[in-house]
A and B are shown apart, each in its own frame.
Chain A
Amino acid sequence: MSSFWIILTGALVAVTCSLLGCYLILRRMAMVGDAISHAVLPGIVLAFLISGSRQTIPMLLGAGILGILTTFLIEFLHKKARLQEDASIGVTFTWLFALGVILISVFANKVDIDQECVLYGEIAYVPLNVWITDTGTNLGPQAIWIMGSILVLVLIMIFTSYKELLVTTFDPSYAAAIGFSTALWHYILMSMVSLATVASFESVGAILVVAFLIVPAATAYLLTDRFELMLVLAAVFGILSSVLGYLLASQIDGSIAGAMATMTGLIFVLAFIFSPRYGILRKKNEADKTGMIIEESKV
């Protein structure tokens, strides 16, 4: 049963992150996920100090607020200080992460966490942390409920606002011209990324979240020219990575989250080699292909 919970948690994290990742890579903001995953550290520490417990909800709240603050800071430095986007990401998250490290070291006697547990997480402990109601009913691991609800939120966002997200991603100036607020959709998306990152850190850890945010989406990008299909493929690769990752980890008796992230990379490499359109095997025939298109367009 516990391996089922672990795989399910991994799959929920993977699908949530892969779907969001599709938008991130097309907006050239892949590294924002990386930034958020580090920058939430002071939020987690502060939430711990204020609430005095390792309860999930205050942690999520503290980290979520910091995550959104991070995206604001990145935007602010980029727009107002005229810093390049990547430079403002670099300034923001290293600084916030360092702040978190200092907070931990200063309050070390009061704080029962360290940066390692935030950065690496431990998915193997997921089945141990179950949600038991006041009446004593066992509802299964907490992580499943938290990741499940965030996935539902992400799905609601994509289903109701598919066209808004699409047009603000593809052509922000046209979107603004027809009256869609690009800033609003940017922050909605970034809030979702913050939530997903923060909720995942307990299980797969902040660093491996980045693998799920970027790699399955990048794999899907190599394989399709249709955005809907890219979302579906990314989700499928996410699930596949967590199942295969778990099998690999139990074979070699290694880190489960590490094995899952390794699988995302392996699937990416396979796609890179065998992609029907962009794969390196295909590129040998590139000359024929362009010749074909020119002929087609003459028709």
Chain B
Amino acid sequence: MIIQVPNPILEVHDLTVAYHRKPVLWGVDLTLPAGSLTGIIGPNGAGKSTLIKAIMGLIPLSSGFVKLFGKDLDEVRQKVSYVPQRESVDWDFPASALDVVLMGRYSQIGLFKRPRKADKEVAVECLRKVGLQNFANRQISQLSGGQQQRVFLARALAQDADIYFMDEPFAGVDAATEAAIIEILRNMTTSGKTVVVVHHDLQSAVTYFNWVLLLNMRLVASGPTEKVFTQDLLQETYGGKLTVLAKVGDLLEKQQFPSREDKA
């Protein structure tokens, strides 16, 4: 079940990606509405990270195209932000939290120019938004995993984009940080931003997102969370894995008696 929307903020058409001739994503066709908080859900190796890397133009496409705001990525890059997986960088790098957040301003500053005072102020403000104002000058290796993840989030905020792609922002963070991050993401979407998150926890996905993509090399479903989270579709996504199926049963029960309210 793939629901297409009119005037999409993101359009992916017939997208196929292969690593060394081995296909990872097959014929993905989807559209996303503006202002949604979207979760990309699927088992390991389903191509979730690959999908957002392909959208961000970080890996070559075997076929298909991606349109953001109805245009090519190069025309709208300033309005698009990306949060890579936390493990993708060396946190022993000699930089402070503020240095990293300041990188979010680089695309606005322009080639060969240096950050100004105004850029620093934006960066400090974004650190405050994620609750790290007291850690601005802390070297990044001396931050906890959750704090590092929030530094990445602050960097994306500093870019002041309209659509954000985040690769596993909840990986390796504690429950309190996860709650803080989802709160920030919700505030972003209520102020009109669109947020797309790679996520692998089915349990929390139901309450976090108002739009869900189910992915397992092919796109199984795309639509509002309540329409997509059905036993059939989840089974199709996760295949016949017993433990997962048991979990799916749990989930559906919870859906009927929701324990957590979606406050968004």
Contacts and interface: CB of A to CB of B under 8 A. Distances in A.
Interface string B135-172: 10001001010010000000100010000000000000
Interface string A158-190: 001111101101110110111110000000000
B259 interface: no
13 contacts: A162-B114, A163-B106, A163-B114, A164-B106, A166-B103, A171-B84, A176-B58, A177-B81, A178-B107, A224-B94, A226-B95, A226-B96, A229-B94
**Interface size for chain A: under 10, 10 to 19, 20 to 34, or 35 or more residues?**
20 to 34
A66 B115 CA distance: 37
B89 interface: yes
Contacts of B135: 297
Nearest to A171: B89
A178 B77 CA distance: 6
Contacts of B114: 162-163
A176 B155 CA distance: 15
Interface of B: 20, 53, 56-58, 74, 77, 80-82, 84, 88-90, 93-96, 99-100, 103, 106-107, 109, 111-112, 114-115, 134-135, 139, 142, 144, 147, 155, 159
A174 B93 contact: no
A221 interface: yes
Interface SS majority for chain A: helix
A178 B99 contact: no
A299 B134 contact: yes
B103 A26 contact: no
Nearest to B140: A225
A214 interface: no
B82 A230 contact: no
Contacts of B109: 163
Contact of B88 (A171, A179, A224, A226): A171
Interface of A: 26, 82, 160-164, 166-167, 169-171, 173-174, 176-180, 221, 224-227, 229-230, 293, 297, 299
B94 A171 contact: no
Contacts of B82: 173-174, 177-178
Contacts of A160: 112
Given A177-B57, A178-B106, A179-B77, 12 more contacts: A82-B20, A163-B114, A164-B106, A171-B88, A171-B103, A173-B58, A173-B84, A179-B107, A221-B94, A225-B139, A227-B99, A230-B94
Nearest to B144: A297
Nearest to B55: A177
A40 B95 CA distance: 34
Contacts of A173: 53, 58, 82, 84, 88
A225 B57 contact: no
A162 B80 CA distance: 23
A229 B20 CA distance: 41
Contact of A170 (B74, B93, B111, B134): B93
A61 B253 CA distance: 73
A174 B89 CA distance: 10
Task: Pick the 7 closest A-B CB pairs, nearest first.
Answer: A177-B82, A225-B139, A178-B107, A179-B77, A160-B112, A173-B84, A227-B94
Given A179-B77, A225-B96, A226-B94, A170 B103 contact: yes
Contact of A174 (B20, B84, B94, B144): B84
